[in-house]
Amino acid sequence: MALVACPTGSIGTREKLDSKAAAAAYPELVDENVYFCGYASPNSYGAASYLITRPEGNILVDSPRYAKTLVRRIEEMGGISTLWFSHRDDVADHQKFHEHFSCKRIIHRADASGIPAEQFLEGEDPVSLDNDLIAIPVPGHTRGHVVLLYRNKFLFTGDHLAWSDNRGGLIAFRSVAWYSWREQTKSMRRLLDFRFEWVLPGHGRRAHQSQDVMHQSLINCIKWMETIK
Ligand SMILES: [Zn+2]
């Protein structure tokens, strides 16, 4: 499965194995109706992408590689009605997914240059996209970065926020704060208004903790961010 997920095809095996089972194992269940897509695309900098299956229409969070096996699996799981982008880095094969599934693409206006989305988010106020689905703009990594909160449980964080096993908590990536670290710290404070259990990032570890542990970890992360220029 690592071989299938790797964006640059850098993983091999010593013995010849049949990779079909691994190829068909994505999207892989994370929890409830949320799946990890595997098939990371080099055009999305190898970022992780996720699928939420819902009766109202499935949502693809950031773009994986447009691979036939994955597309077929997603078809079996009900297709895609919305392709949602955390930010401009992770759009990869959006055009192919859009054409195949006729899905609506949503991105923040500030990150939309060259991306012909069907819906644009504006400003910094959280936007309710649908039942239990809130888009929260968090400028910092890029100007138009947005995180997606689903059912006050799953937070899809793109490159804004991730978990670190080393630090045993939430972290942000100073060296890739392309737009502004100060703004990213401010954005992080605004996340304190929300509750979540899962952090599902583009890069770095995903994590599942109680809402209280996540909240405390977010407070610690902000304190740490404030110490860094
Ligand atoms: Zn990025």
Q: pLDDT tens digits, residue range 64-103?
A: 999 999 999 999 999 999 999 999 988 889 999 999 999 9
Are 153 and 143 contacting, i.e. CB atoms less than 8 angstroms apart?
no
Percent of the chain with pLDDT over 70: 100
The two three-digit tokens of residue 31, written as one number: 């929890």
Q: What is the mean pLDDT of residues 3-28?
A: 85
Banded model confidence at residue 4, pLDDT cuts 50, 70, 90:
confident
- For residue 14, pLDDT beyond 90: no
What local confidence, expressed as pLDDT, does residue 97 receive? Answer: 97
Listed residues: CB within 5 A of ion ligand 1 = 89, 159
- For residue 7, pLDDT beyond 90: no
What local confidence, expressed as pLDDT, does residue 174 receive? Answer: 96
CA of 132 to the centre of ligand 1 (A): 25
CA of 175 to the centre of ligand 1 (A): 11
Helix (H) or strand (E) holding 28: strand 28-31
Q: How far is CA 160 from CA 14, 55, 98, 199, in A?
A: 37, 29, 25, 10
Which residues have C-beta within 8 Å of that of residue 189, sequence separation ≥ 6? Answer: 222
Banded model confidence at residue 18, pLDDT cuts 50, 70, 90:
confident
- Higher-confidence position of 128 and 18: 128
CA of 80 to the centre of ligand 1 (A): 23
Give me the residues paired with residue 158 across strands: 201
Helix (H) or strand (E) holding 98: helix 94-101
CA of 176 to the centre of ligand 1 (A): 8
- For residue 19, pLDDT beyond 90: no
- Higher-confidence position of 19 and 40: 40
CA of 179 to the centre of ligand 1 (A): 11
CA of 142 to the centre of ligand 1 (A): 7
Report the side by side order of strands in the sheet with 154-158.
127-130, 133-137, 146-150, 154-158, 198-201, 207-208
Residue written as token pair 């952090």 = 199
Are 148 and 86 contacting, i.e. CB atoms less than 8 angstroms apart?
yes
What local confidence, expressed as pLDDT, does residue 44 receive? Answer: 79
Banded model confidence at residue 194, pLDDT cuts 50, 70, 90:
very high
| Residue 19 buriedness (CB in 10 A; 0-12 / 13-18 / 19+) | middle
Q: What is the mean pLDDT of residues 190-209?
A: 97
What local confidence, expressed as pLDDT, does residue 200 receive? Answer: 98
CA of 141 to the centre of ligand 1 (A): 7
Are 72 and 94 contacting, i.e. CB atoms less than 8 angstroms apart?
no
Banded model confidence at residue 126, pLDDT cuts 50, 70, 90:
very high
Q: What is the mean pLDDT of residues 40-52?
A: 89
Are 80 and 101 contacting, i.e. CB atoms less than 8 angstroms apart?
yes
Are 202 and 62 contacting, i.e. CB atoms less than 8 angstroms apart?
yes
